[in-house]
Amino acid sequence: MKPFVTLVGAGPGDPDLITLKGIKAIKKADVILYDALVNEELLDLAPEHCVKIYVGKRAERLSTKQESINQLLVDYALTHGHVVRLKGGDPFVFGRGGEEIAFVRKHGIETAVVPGISSAIGLTGLQQIPLTYRGESESFWVITGSTKDGNLSEDLYQAVKTDATVVVLMGYGKLKEIVELYQSYGRGELPIALIQNGSLPTERIALGTIDTILDEAKEKLLGVPAIIVIGEVVRKHQDFETLKVHFHE
């Protein structure tokens, strides 16, 4: 029994969006530590002897501390063998996967990473919103909406000055502040999209501009988890043009 830890990205929610390599890792797992945003259908792929442990972390709810998760990875690897750390999206995109790998390595345990489809790329793609578009957006920024001190990320204050597409993860609770920031730079007409429960049957989306999105979100009854997409590329969404009449009513 060789201690081994594999970080696996489960993708944005739809179980079909995990990679084949991710499925193979799950099928060889002795223990799976999985997050709140992982589709539990994926756990059915594990062997019968596999121990499955929920270690989800969600804003404003009781959650497992990161230090505890780190230690569990080591402890179970030493006692059970192959541990799969199953994380929503991609482990290295605001998933603290780097911290977990570093901790496990300190204990001399071999590690591997199976990349996953980040919600920043996957959910926008499913909605047919291109993150880059020739002549309109030459880059995209993926920024956290949740910092340790509870304030908006300083990167947002830089991104608002550019024409880059901005995707904010874990930022729905800061939507009003983000709107006010963009309005303070005179960007109230900039298109914006909110995608809740992306890729799942419960998916909801709100389209609008910086000036209208708070009302749109309220009307559509949007909540967490949701990503925020800001930029001219949002106009490429097939339903955006039909909303123009609504904007000007």
- State how far the Cα of 139 lies from the Cα of 92, in Å rounded to an integer: 19
Closest CA relative to residue 67, chosen from 103, 31, 105, 111: 103
> Does the annotation count 30 as an active-site position?
no
> Does the annotation count 16 as an active-site position?
no
Of 35, 90, 174, 236, the catalytic one is 35
CA terminus-to-terminus distance, the chain? 67
Residue 8 token pair: 């696996």
- State how far the Cα of 226 lies from the Cα of 229, in Å rounded to an integer: 10
Of 57, 155, 211, 220, the catalytic one is 57
**Cα 16 → chain centroid:** 16
The C-alpha angle 175, 177, 180, rounded to 5 degrees, equals 110
Q: Give the C-alpha distances (Å, rounded to integers) separating 70 from 52, 87, 92.
A: 16, 13, 15
> Does the annotation count 1 as an active-site position?
no
- State how far the Cα of 182 lies from the Cα of 23, in Å rounded to an integer: 41
Active site residues: 35, 57, 170
